[in-house]
Amino acid sequence: MKILDVLQTDTILPNLRATDKKGILEELVAPVAMRTGIEDRRLVRVLMERERLGSTGIGGGIGIPHGKIDQLASLVLGVGISHQGVDFESLDGRPTHIFFLLITPENAAGLHLKLLARISRLLKNDLFKEKLLAAQDAESILKAIAEEERIIQD
């Protein structure tokens, strides 16, 4: 499965404004809540519970907050860019700028792991990360992802 198979333009936020972890999660889930009909607070609660197990700030300026929720019919993906960077309790202790939000149905563990792996693989490319950080709008982010997915064919 490719990222563009599930990513929707309305869940891409090129200018996150929050200055802390909870605020970033609240911003990221807002369009997902509208798309799914699941209450914002419930989505944030699921993500914060996952964060208590260990930060999804994986280092290198990247955060991949993720969680599973039983009410969800199909997985939902969001992307957000924080130009100022946020303390996301990242493994390397550095600010996090690029966020990929993944919320999957409770019974979709295999799909959840596959998409996490694909996102991680894309984000290993520093040039790709630079393109995301330079993107001014959702369309530019989609274009950068499309170009990178063409490069890393499965």
Q: Any idea which residues carry the catalytic annotation?
A: 66
This prediction has a pTM of: 0.94
Q: What is the largest CA-CA distance in the chain?
A: 37
Q: What is the CATH number of domain 7-149?
A: 3.40.930.10
Decide: 69 and 105 in contact? Cβ < 8 Å.
yes
Domain ranges of the chain: 7-149
What CA–CA distance (Å, rounded) separates 127 from 110?
29
| 25: helix, strand or coil | helix
In a structure prediction context, what are the per-residue pLDDT tens digits for the chain, which is 154 residues long?
A: 789 999 999 999 999 999 999 999 999 999 999 999 999 999 999 999 999 999 999 999 999 999 999 888 889 999 999 999 999 999 999 999 999 999 999 888 788 888 888 898 899 999 999 999 999 999 999 999 999 998 876 5
What CA–CA distance (Å, rounded) separates 24 from 57?
12
Strands 76-86 and 96-105: antiparallel
